[in-house]
Structure 1
């Protein structure tokens, strides 16, 4: 079973052959729902869809893989019309057209390419993939092409589409960035340092406060915070939450640098000599990284004892994977996702107030 820590896997495997298929890997703090598409043309085109919480609205995403068939406009329309707005259509269409690949002329456009171009114009969609952006490199001759496309509704025109670094596949990863709300490293929130002997005084002070005049969540939060500061202190650590891989060292850094240099050399001059050099360093990089991972893990294991806290072990395992996670669970109200912290707090307080009003004798102390 294919698994990635802290991610949900939504997959659609091929039933008639080994390999291939489609999959979404969604971080567990993101709200999503799988779409049950009517799969009328599954013999010609592979599809998988979901809707994802994007700025407290559903973003509909359709994955498509065309195994080199001639896809008609009506077949694409069948799936796209099952999506709401805004929408993204992402996939390897195996389509050729100068609209996204200026390296070719219209005579070399294939049938699928012409139909996709027609669909974009008819359905008020836009091509988000920059024309000429390399998405695939032929491993035999280094020829660059654009066959992985991202199509969307006009209200997603602010998204920036880039090809990522080579990850040893003939297809390059495609990175989608939101320029309106860029993703940055999150600062860890300051934590309270609670002391049991001061907790009773804190509760006693709160009970003496007049809460009848409080009319908003902000006022309640401010009361709890200011009262708490009298009895407790903050942890003053305020560091950026970045992954720290314990196995990463100068050996790994140098071999990756050499591998990438060889790849760029082969990409610029795709001859047999450069190809062999790149593939040799590709294999060597994997060998060195696997060795460093193993040695780092063995060194950590020898340091363990019966008194080692479980937290230390789990933290090391997360670091081995280079992952830190800040979980944030959205909720759904009236079929709309809510991820804003203040809105969630207000919803919670209203629901809690209903419980208190319905059960006055069970009001907690």
Structure 2
């Protein structure tokens, strides 16, 4: 998972790379690939190479070659030393998933492996780029703690007939809001999906518990239990998605608008749906943007 804030660079090249374990890879072939990438760049993927330089317990020929290649070309491997892959058959782990960055952005990158396999044999990787701002910070207003009296007084003070254009009006309105409405603290909330229920939550909890037990004591019994809980969680989630979709489809009729259909589909997929903004005037809900503007103009 790559988290990108508002970057200082105009462009960032991101390349996904997979190197099969039995294929021949040379410095020349890597040089040809990396030479085509506009800088700054990130190369992310399964390199199937082993080296203690990025946390693996052993060093192979490809790992040694990759060490030399990155050093000769002044490239930075961002891995922190955490394991990224689980060999279930051998009850062992390794670090074969790498993130390689050009030196100009390496200092802005933060690499971390997830603590849960999430049903895969590779740990999900979180790569965060923080350039002059934090992409995780939630900067939305907390309207539940707003001082509306202060906001109203500031609007009367700031918003007058001298504001000739919408840019100045918006700027003054935001100044009033920032002075009277606090921001939410912490990180952004995760996107909720309608199919994720208590059964899914419990299945994931059991899978994580079995994974921790297996990693702590890699016995055959714990391995079998981990595989069983992993399969169970996969089945429960798949079945929940299926049932949720069936329930939704059965609720559709000829009067259902296409907007409602696509909004629900985006929600099922876990994509953020922009919240609707409404005003209430004389007991009536106002949802049209033009009516919003007219209402604000009449009020202030």
The answer to which structure, 1 or 2, has the higher relative contact order (CA under 8 A, 6+ apart) is: 2
Give the TM-score category using the shorter length: 0.5 to 0.7
In structure 2, the CA distance between the partners of 1:91 and 1:285, relative to structure 1 (3 Å rule), is closer
Does the CA-based 8 Å contact 1:97-1:113 persist in structure 2?
yes
Question: Which of 297-306 and 257-266 deviates more?
Answer: 297-306
Alpha-carbon distance in 2 for matches of 1:226, 1:153? 42
Is residue 95 of structure 1 aligned with residue 49 of structure 2? yes
Q: For the residues of structure 1 that align with 2:237 and 2:37, how far apart are their CA atoms?
A: 42
Structure-1 separation of matches of 2:243 and 2:19: 43
Partner of 1:65: 18
Moved more, 167-176 or 247-256: 167-176
User: Superposition pairs for residues 128-147 of structure 1, below 5 Å?
Assistant: 128-131=78-81, 133-147=82-96
1:182 maps to which residue?
134
Pick closer, same or farther for the CA change 1:96–1:272 going to 2, 3 Å.
same
Q: What is the CA–CA distance in structure 2 between the aligned matches of 1:243 and 1:176, rounded to whole Å?
A: 19
Are 1:294 and 2:242 an aligned pair? yes
Alignment partner, residue 317 of structure 1: 265
1:308 corresponds to: 256
Inter-CA distance 305–226: structure 2 relative to 1 (3 Å threshold): farther
Shift of 1:75: 2.2
Q: Measure, in 2, the Cα distance between the counterparts of 1:111 and 1:225.
A: 59
d(CA) in 1 for partners of 2:31, 2:265: 45
Aligned length: 240
Q: Report what 1:166 is aligned to.
A: 117
- Are the structure 2 counterparts of residues 79 and 308 from structure 1 closer, same or farther at C-alpha, using a change threshold of 3 Å? closer
**What CA distance in whole angstroms lies between the structure 1 residues aligned with 2:19 and 2:238?**
35
Q: Counting strand residues as a fraction of each chain, which structure ranks higher?
A: 1
Structure 1: distance between partners of 2:238 and 2:50: 39
**Structure 2 spans left out of the alignment, 5+ residues:** 144-160, 174-182, 275-300
Partner of 2:228: 280
Of the three residues 124, 129, 144, the one matched with 2:74 is 124
Q: Structure 1 pair 306/264, CA: closer, same or farther in 2 (3 Å)?
A: same
Query: Could you say what secondary structure the match of 1:120 adopts?
Result: helix
CA deviation profile, 1:281-307 (whole Å, cap 9, x unmatched): 222222222332233333333433433
The alpha-carbon distance between structure 1 residues 225 and 268, as it changes in their structure 2 partners (threshold 3 A), is closer
> Equivalent residue of 1:301, what SS?
helix
Distance in 1, Cα, partners of 2:140 & 2:26: 49
Alignment of 1:191-230 (within 5 A): 220-222=166-168
DSSP-derived class of the 1:79 partner: helix
Cα distance between partner residues in 2 of 1:182 and 1:142: 38
CA contact (8 A) 1:159 1:179 kept: yes
The alpha-carbon distance between structure 1 residues 150 and 309, as it changes in their structure 2 partners (threshold 3 A), is same
How is 1:27-42 mapped onto 2 (pairs within 5 angstroms)? none
Task: Give the TM-score of the pair, scaled to structure 2.
Answer: 0.68
CA shift in 2, pair 1:84/1:251, >3 Å: same
Q: 1:309 to 1:110 in 2, by over 3 A?
A: same
Distance 1:304 1:71 in 2: 53
Would you say the 8 A contact 1:134–1:163 is kept in 2?
yes
Shift of 1:135: 1.0
Counterpart in 2 of 1:257? Answer: 205
CA distances 1:298-342 after superposition (whole Å, capped 9, x unpaired): 33334334333333322222222221156xxxxxxxxxxxxxxxx
Against the structure 1 CA distance between its residues 320 and 59, is the aligned structure 2 distance closer, same or farther, given a 3 Å change threshold?
Answer: same
| RMSD over equivalenced CA pairs, Å | 3.5
